[in-house]
Amino acid sequence: MNLFYIDESEKNSRLDIVFNNRYPNFSRAYIKNMIDEGKILLEGKKVKAGEKVKLGQKVEFEISEVKPLDAMPQNVEFEIVYEDKDLIVVNKPQGLVVHPCSSTRDGTLVNGLLYRIKDLSGINGVLRPGIVHRLDKDTSGLMVVAKNDTSHISLAGQIKEKTCKRKYLALLDGNLKEDEGEIKTYLERSKSDRKKIAVSDKGRIAITQYRVIKRFTTACLVEFSLKTGRTHQIRVHAKSLGHPVVGDKVYGKAVKGLNGQLLHSYSLEFTHPRTGETMKFEIPLPEHFEKYLKKLKEQ
């Protein structure tokens, strides 16, 4: 059994919300099912999902067995950078959706993983097996995928505790005034367009550090380091600086010859769930990104 104790910030909150805050990669439905089935216990007792918790109470939980997966295996093209019995590091190409959703039923990274990998963690349910964190469809680069639930919990915890380090390269429209800095805002769903995320005076805190790598006449290449992992965080923060990511059709403008934003997850560092070893991976920019930079250099 795994366990943790309720701290000061969690007291008087619902058990399911506390659990979701600690392990955000468990879906709320999955958490409720675990509580209903007695696989999440409060002080050793089976309770309801809405039970209010008290300071110092013990929460115990067991890892649920992997359930049969509904997403169909399909031969989808992507690169496996590293693989062992606990996890996989993949290089997701631009244009590939991570998991099935209402708008994309198949042809996703998950479909490809099921085709190539025998075992994946079941924590995120039948449509998102193994998925610890995500990249937007048109963002390329490194992702770590869990092969078992123990690895999934460890990796999700590292992301929550900010010990998993993720760095991105993005080409921004125009030139930033400062060579480096930190962006700290609240983000929430846009009230005018629910598909968008907006900077707000409330919502969830989002922190992004940036450093200009190279300046061009009409753009700048910037390294971004995530201190939090919110939906569309880098793209929204870039827009908030007045310099959206080049090719971002949602927060900037479409660019002829580009299929989406020039945003690439090039560096990923985490602690291996089983061995405790520091794992660090870096990959070069994809061909479409390099070609666009070459054009800028020629100008």
Residue positions annotated with a catalytic role: 136
Q: How far, in Å, CA of 224 to CA of 119, rounded?
A: 33
Give the burial string for 153-180 (b: 16+ CB within 10 Å, else e): bbbbbbbbeeebebbbbbbbbeebeeee
